[in-house]
Structure 1
Amino acid sequence: MSVKDVSIDPAVPELLEKAENDGLETVWHRFASQQPQCGFGLLGICCRNCVQGPCRIDPFGEGPQKGICGANADLIVARNLLRSATGGAAAHIDHAYEAVEALYQAAVGKAPYEIKDEAKLKAVAGKLGISVDGKDKNTLAREVAEAAFADFANHGAAPMKWLTATAPAERVETWGKLGLLPKNPDREIRTAMHQTSMGVDSDPVNLILATVKMGLVDGYGGLHLATDIQDILFGTPSPVVSDANLGVLDADYVNIIIHGHVPLLSEKVVEWARKLENEAIAAGARGIKLAGICCTGNEVLMRQGVPLATNFLAQELAVTTGAVDAMVVDVQCIMPSLADITACYHTKLITTMPIAKVPGAEHVPFDIEKVDETARQIVRIAIEAYKNRDPEKVRIPGHRSKVVAGFSVEAVVGALAKLNADNPLKPLVDNIANGNILGACGVVGCNNAKVVQDSFHVALVKELLKNNVLVVATGCAAHALGKAGFLTPEATLQYAGDSLKAVLTAVGEAAGLKAPLPPALHMGSCVDNSRIGDLLKALAAYLNVAVKDLPVAASAPEYQHEKAIAIGTWAVALGVFTHLGVVPPVLGSQVVAGALTGETAENLLGGKFYVETDPIAAAQGIIAHIKDKRAKLGI
């Protein structure tokens, strides 16, 4: 394996070489050792849903065409897809439920969180039909939390309240006609697992529709719910300037990396790192520096200005710098190999959640009521570890890029209001209508070892910007664009087409930034894809059209997690043309692949999946779609 061929991030080959010199195995070494990967699995035609198997279908038609129970390729692929989407939705639902619990505990005085955004609290309450008159913020927060809990306790026929309160009315009507409105997130997950077990549903079309329903469970019981509650608790993000890449670490400081997806503990770690800085100085450091990986990193970046260390694929290399004193993890996208890597250095790997323990790590349990004690203990563990750091093992790459992050919908509307206070969306819509902005694309998702790290994100976005397509970004895609310098005003001058550049410059100067807005707007973590949904809902309502008619698209260029399957399905259900840069494991079934990427999905939902593994060709496909939508709107 060549260290030059795995990533376009200049910090990666430098640290990968160090890892090899230190005798360490990384994700890229393990990926190479797995080649060739199982062709049956890649096509989605391997079934392990009962102990008679595993069964596999011969894609060439010469061997077995049915599993032991009689399941054919269409059924096996459809079941596997629904199970993947269900796993992804379960991750987001669990995340959201933890946030609701924290809000409730804070509201009744049992958790040391302060409700930071009363305006967002009132806005959410209003959508839910909860009166705000004469109520203090704790009373209102308790009622909002109880409304969320009610969705999880819904045993009736009514659909999820969080969905009907936040989704576009036209979409709710469409999903209702198709029988896809979910009622209770937990029940829908249970039903999907039952539906895909041996001897239950054998209709691939019915299973595909159930997958769409699971996308809605994820979109509203996971993404939207988590974002709303976290904004209420920790504040709705507004633009903040920080840095990205592993050069944000500092050999003179105690370095703590926060990694995972749920910000309930990481917000407190940030707080206690600032409070205990004198203890770090007493230990011989100049202070404490924090950095983030994956979506926990995005969360504390947006609200606290904490810099981004790196995204998913390079998490092991952060430890390989030898300068990380503690890596604190919560849930999702945490490589078990981190324990092997940290064992070679002084770094403490600290797990915090009961469902995400790693052998060899130190476990400091997260407890909402005792979160201050937990955060304080974690910071002190890092300070103690710093005392054992070996300076000879430290090698911090000099690569870092400025980022401007935190573009919530409220922040975007606030910036546009500087141009038109009475009608903030008008300048945006006018510039789309006159062609200054061709359209917009949400670039989201993960890294995947099958793709040269960050390369697809960057190449795709360059091509879109050149063609005056505005980009919004979340998740590890946002990390990639941050490291590559796309989240800055300077990037607008370098990469945006002339008309897009003019619009972003006008908005930025009107907002008092004395510079253009970045050409790619950082909108947050994976759950914050709901912000993109809210923006599309607002634009569609302004134009009095359906979301499916807007000149917009979504792209997950390097996705790898089941969560991305669920998010992408939600986007398609919303009516969005959704690009995938990694081939999903569905090609073993013409029925499933055709339904997801062809007229069936588009006719029923208005959106569909578009699979293209070349970034330039993918960008051109997205641009062609946007132009087609513009033509149909007569603009």
Structure 2
Amino acid sequence: MSNEQARSIDKATVELLEKARKEEISTVFSRADRIKPCPIGAEDSCCKVCAMGPCRLPRSKKGEQQERTGVCGATIDTIVARNFARKVAAGTASHSDHAREVVETFLKTARGEAQGFAIKDEVKLLEVALDFGIDIEGKDATAIATELGEKALNEFGRQHGELAYTKKAPLKRQEIWRKYGVMPRGIDREVVEIMHRTHMGVDQDYRHILLQTTRCALADGWGGSMISTDLQDIMFGTPVPVLGSINLGVLKEDQVNVIVHGHEPLLPELLVVASRDPEIKKLTEEVGAKGVNLAGMCCSANEVLMRHGIPCAGNFLQQELALVTGAVEVMTVDVQCQMQGLQGVAECFHTKLITTSDRAMIEGATHIEFHPEKGLETAKQILKMAIENYPKRRHAVYIPDHSRDIVAGFSHETINYLLGGLFRASYRPLNDNIINGRIRGVAGVVGCNNVRTVHDSAHIAMIRELIKNDVLVLTTGCAAMACGKAGLLTPEAAREYAGSGLAEVCEAVGIPPVLHMGACVDNSRILVAATAMVKEGGLGDDISDLPAAGAAPEWMSEKALAIGQYFVASGIFTIFGTTWPTVGSENVTRHLFEEFEGMFKGTWAYEQDPVKGARLMIDHIDKKRKALGIDKAGERVLFDMAMRRALG
């Protein structure tokens, strides 16, 4: 096996890694070979919050006595808890700043100030308005949207009370949050408070620090992320199942290739609109291209895929490799998960890297800021630059012949409809099939890629083990894209990979055994689905009662920790792979892995082996089934007409 083959289970990735090596192009993979993780930093046993340090506190060797405190006397427990808290704060800030941009664009759309945007899902507008306590009687969509945008924007600066969306959680879950004082008040307030508490000489009790960490994470899951998902659905349309394609083979040699990369779907949405403009089509023909080929990368890919069927070029670790094809005219990037190394790769080819957010620039890249007031103009400007760049290709194009068909776009609303139909939309069929044992339980497998693991391998190994054992998988982000490349996002996958019970249900409904639910910010859809299962009845009265578990086997970003923390605080058993940032403190790790379960009925776990991780999730699901009294399959009874009448 070559070094490249050992890096990824994806053939397109391997082929382009070989090309990059031969052409001496630096990528995240080659840089990872040169730079090894700091063993002290990997355990977060280093404190850098004041200038008396950094204080490095490596674990004592066997038989060696070593005082594990910083210069100020801060214990290893305090230091590790602070570091963990700051990561969760950064992840929450990232999702929530994304949400703020969406809310501001939503408001401008409602007021008629945004170019190219509209209110597309008025039904969801009314539903979300009611969630925010808005009186909709006698008001038109514009008035309701304006009031909703203003109320949503207030959630960021709120100082007291409770976030509006926390009332969507089961009542028992709300009581737990209030009991431990972690009910989020305002999104920005919780992030700021973490930064204050973890300043030198403030909060120095690791349990107390981790309570505020939990409150901050909840402000993400039941605040910023949920707001972003709902308002994007209202503006762009709530996703429904759509056929798309994935992997680097979606690039076209005879077309102008434009890759949208990042996490905010505002500009990508308008690029889709602009690409269909007759003027753009004419300019494309003039340079000898057969069209504009839009393709997505990372979570922007998921957004335009599930609403428009725009092909997805790849996930996080493939972003530089897309440029190595030599076929990309322009890559746009906004915020989150874009590597600075992209510019170095772009300079090896004719590709223009364009940064579009006022919060994120890359040295050497072209900067064209996106503002909704001139959104469509900006989208056309970028496409014209791409078209002008098409004749400037300097190298022979190499596009791997690897892509797959996928079905994406399983929002909460879609699942509700598919299970119950238009007039009886309900989670009852899902709950019933969990109760009768055809479906063992539900797992959310989400998260990033990490160059310290074999690209995509942990996602696929874990998910195949889960669906083989009749666990329905919900997936988002880079994990979802890994599933697409591995052929798990089509209905046919149920027969090939799923256990007999899950396969039977999937074939009856016509769904894959793994449901693509969107971008990483859309993990809130999983919370909504879990809450719907509780409210439907028969599976307990809280999210923690469900036969359900979560995982991020290849996580790498601070956002992933924020997501994991809000899932744990919502009552979900959550397992991470790759590495774990609190192993430097036995007490902090024990608190998160054991004591949290007694408090929040959800807990963390860490397992590098994805199959073993899947087995831990299945064991947890079985434990919950036993507690509900549904651990034994019920007898299947064929009802005659008299029995049917008796049902009423």
**Normalised TM-score (structure 1):** 0.96
| Secondary structure of 1:274 counterpart | coil
- The CA distance in 2 between the partners of 1:468 and 1:494, in whole Å, is 13
- The CA distance in 1 between the partners of 2:134 and 2:141, in whole Å, is 13
Measured against aligned partners, the alpha-carbon deviations of 1:239-279 in whole angstroms (never above 9, x if no partner) come to: 00010000000000000000000001110111111211221
Q: C-alpha displacement at 1:169, in angstroms? A: 2.4
Measured against aligned partners, the alpha-carbon deviations of 1:446-498 in whole angstroms (never above 9, x if no partner) come to: 00011100000000111111101001110000010011111011211110111
In the other structure, the counterpart of 1:511 is: none
Is 1:199 matched with 2:201?
yes
- The CA distance in 2 between the partners of 1:330 and 1:288, in whole Å, is 20
Bigger shift: residues 176-185 or 319-328: 176-185
Is 1:39 matched with 2:45?
no
Instruction: Please tell me the residue identity of whatever aligns with 2:215.
Output: K
Bigger shift: residues 330-339 or 175-184: 175-184
Q: C-alpha displacement at 1:134, in angstroms? A: 1.6
In the other structure, the counterpart of 1:528 is: 522
Q: 1:393 to 1:69 in 2, by over 3 A?
A: farther
Instruction: Please tell me the residue identity of whatever aligns with 1:145.
Output: G
Is 1:630 matched with 2:593?
no
Query: What are the equivalent positions in structure 2 for 1:225-240 lying under 5 Å apart?
Result: 225-240=227-242
In the other structure, the counterpart of 2:149 is: 145
In the other structure, the counterpart of 2:352 is: 348
Is 1:287 matched with 2:291?
yes
- The CA distance in 2 between the partners of 1:393 and 1:50, in whole Å, is 52
In the other structure, the counterpart of 2:135 is: 131
Of 518, 537, 545, which residue of structure 1 is paired with 2:531?
537
Query: What are the equivalent positions in structure 2 for 1:171-570 lying under 5 Å apart?
Result: 171-275=173-277, 276-390=280-394, 392-418=395-421, 421-422=423-424, 424-508=426-510, 517-543=511-537, 544-570=540-566
- The CA distance in 2 between the partners of 1:64 and 1:389, in whole Å, is 60
In the other structure, the counterpart of 2:639 is: none
Is 1:77 matched with 2:80?
yes
Q: C-alpha displacement at 1:441, in angstroms? A: 0.4
Q: How many residues align?
A: 621
Q: C-alpha displacement at 1:610, in angstroms? A: 1.3
Is 1:596 matched with 2:586?
no
Q: C-alpha displacement at 1:63, in angstroms? A: 4.1
| Secondary structure of 1:290 counterpart | strand
Is 1:614 matched with 2:615?
no
- The CA distance in 2 between the partners of 1:468 and 1:500, in whole Å, is 5
In the other structure, the counterpart of 2:169 is: 167
In the other structure, the counterpart of 1:514 is: none
Q: 1:423 to 1:266 in 2, by over 3 A?
A: closer
In the other structure, the counterpart of 2:27 is: 26
In the other structure, the counterpart of 1:512 is: none
> Would the aligned equivalents of 2:315 and 2:478 in 1 still touch at CA under 8 Å?
yes
Instruction: Please tell me the residue identity of whatever aligns with 2:401.
Output: G
In the other structure, the counterpart of 2:633 is: none
Instruction: Please tell me the residue identity of whatever aligns with 1:2.
Output: N
Q: C-alpha displacement at 1:154, in angstroms? A: 2.1
Q: C-alpha displacement at 1:105, in angstroms? A: 0.4
- The CA distance in 2 between the partners of 1:19 and 1:247, in whole Å, is 17
Q: 1:364 to 1:270 in 2, by over 3 A?
A: same
Of 87, 97, 102, which residue of structure 2 is paired with 1:99?
102
Q: C-alpha displacement at 1:221, in angstroms? A: 2.2
Q: Which runs of 5+ in 1 are unaligned?
A: 509-516
| Secondary structure of 1:579 counterpart | strand
- The CA distance in 1 between the partners of 2:145 and 2:530, in whole Å, is 27
> Would the aligned equivalents of 1:559 and 1:580 in 2 still touch at CA under 8 Å?
yes
> Would the aligned equivalents of 1:239 and 1:302 in 2 still touch at CA under 8 Å?
yes
- The CA distance in 2 between the partners of 1:527 and 1:118, in whole Å, is 22
| Secondary structure of 1:528 counterpart | helix
In the other structure, the counterpart of 1:513 is: none
In the other structure, the counterpart of 2:6 is: 5
- The CA distance in 2 between the partners of 1:58 and 1:499, in whole Å, is 49
| Secondary structure of 2:489 counterpart | coil
Q: C-alpha displacement at 1:137, in angstroms? A: 1.0
> Would the aligned equivalents of 1:58 and 1:64 in 2 still touch at CA under 8 Å?
no
> Would the aligned equivalents of 1:57 and 1:72 in 2 still touch at CA under 8 Å?
no
Measured against aligned partners, the alpha-carbon deviations of 1:98-117 in whole angstroms (never above 9, x if no partner) come to: 11001100111111211110
> Would the aligned equivalents of 2:157 and 2:187 in 1 still touch at CA under 8 Å?
no
> Would the aligned equivalents of 1:352 and 1:364 in 2 still touch at CA under 8 Å?
yes
| Secondary structure of 1:15 counterpart | helix
| Secondary structure of 1:23 counterpart | coil
- The CA distance in 2 between the partners of 1:545 and 1:421, in whole Å, is 25
Measured against aligned partners, the alpha-carbon deviations of 1:413-449 in whole angstroms (never above 9, x if no partner) come to: 111123x943622211111001000001011000001
> In percent, how many aligned pairs have the same letter?
47
Bigger shift: residues 232-241 or 212-221: 212-221
Measured against aligned partners, the alpha-carbon deviations of 1:191-245 in whole angstroms (never above 9, x if no partner) come to: 1101001111110110111111111011122210110110111110000001000
In the other structure, the counterpart of 2:643 is: none
- The CA distance in 2 between the partners of 1:532 and 1:571, in whole Å, is 10
Instruction: Please tell me the residue identity of whatever aligns with 1:303.
Output: R
> Would the aligned equivalents of 2:183 and 2:218 in 1 still touch at CA under 8 Å?
yes
In the other structure, the counterpart of 1:154 is: 158
| Secondary structure of 1:32 counterpart | helix
> Would the aligned equivalents of 1:56 and 1:64 in 2 still touch at CA under 8 Å?
no
Q: Which runs of 5+ in 2 are unaligned?
A: 631-648
Q: C-alpha displacement at 1:536, in angstroms? A: 0.3
In the other structure, the counterpart of 2:636 is: none
> Would the aligned equivalents of 1:278 and 1:287 in 2 still touch at CA under 8 Å?
no
> Would the aligned equivalents of 1:406 and 1:522 in 2 still touch at CA under 8 Å?
yes
Q: 1:484 to 1:161 in 2, by over 3 A?
A: same
Q: C-alpha displacement at 1:283, in angstroms? A: 1.1
Instruction: Please tell me the residue identity of whatever aligns with 2:144.
Output: L
| Secondary structure of 1:325 counterpart | strand
> Would the aligned equivalents of 2:410 and 2:517 in 1 still touch at CA under 8 Å?
yes
- The CA distance in 2 between the partners of 1:145 and 1:173, in whole Å, is 28
| Secondary structure of 2:293 counterpart | strand
- The CA distance in 1 between the partners of 2:47 and 2:548, in whole Å, is 36
- The CA distance in 2 between the partners of 1:282 and 1:145, in whole Å, is 43
Instruction: Please tell me the residue identity of whatever aligns with 2:10.
Output: D
Measured against aligned partners, the alpha-carbon deviations of 1:302-323 in whole angstroms (never above 9, x if no partner) come to: 1111111010011100000000
Q: 1:423 to 1:305 in 2, by over 3 A?
A: closer
> Would the aligned equivalents of 2:257 and 2:293 in 1 still touch at CA under 8 Å?
yes
| Secondary structure of 2:465 counterpart | helix
**Normalised TM-score (structure 2):** 0.94
- The CA distance in 1 between the partners of 2:104 and 2:170, in whole Å, is 27
> Would the aligned equivalents of 1:117 and 1:232 in 2 still touch at CA under 8 Å?
yes
